[in-house]
Amino acid sequence: CLDDEGKVHEFDSSWRTDDCNDCFCSKSGIRCCTSYATPVGYDKEKCESIFNQETCSYKVVEKDDHSKECPVHSWVG
C-alpha cells in the first residue's frame, strides 16, 4: 500500500500517522480512522477542550484556569 506521504506499507501492517490516525494496509487498500475520542459532553461555557498532538488525546480544562480539569460525560470517536 502507498500512503498519502508516499510511504510503502506491507499488507497486514498498521501504523499511526503524524495527525493521529491509525491506519491498516490490506489487499483491498488502506483504511484509517482517528486514534482518539473527542469530548462532547461537557460545560462548553466554562470549559474548553485542548488537543495534545504528542499523546493524540484531548484534555478538557476550565477556560480561566487550565490546571483545573472539567468532567466529561460523553465522548465520540
How do residues 27-54 score in pLDDT, each as one tens digit?
Answer: 999 999 999 999 999 999 999 999 999 9
Report yes or no: 63 and 22 within 8 Å, Cβ to Cβ.
no
Please state which CATH number belongs to domain 1-35.
2.10.70.10
Q: Give how far Cα 35 sits from Cα of 44, 62, 66, 74, Å.
A: 23, 24, 24, 17
Average pLDDT over the chain reads 96
CATH 2.20.25.590 occupies which residues in the chain?
38-76
Instruction: Place 15 in a pLDDT band, splitting at 50, 70 and 90.
Output: very high
* Cα 44 to Cα 64: distance, rounded to the nearest angstrom: 12
CATH of domain 38-76: 2.20.25.590
Residue recorded with cell 500517522: 17
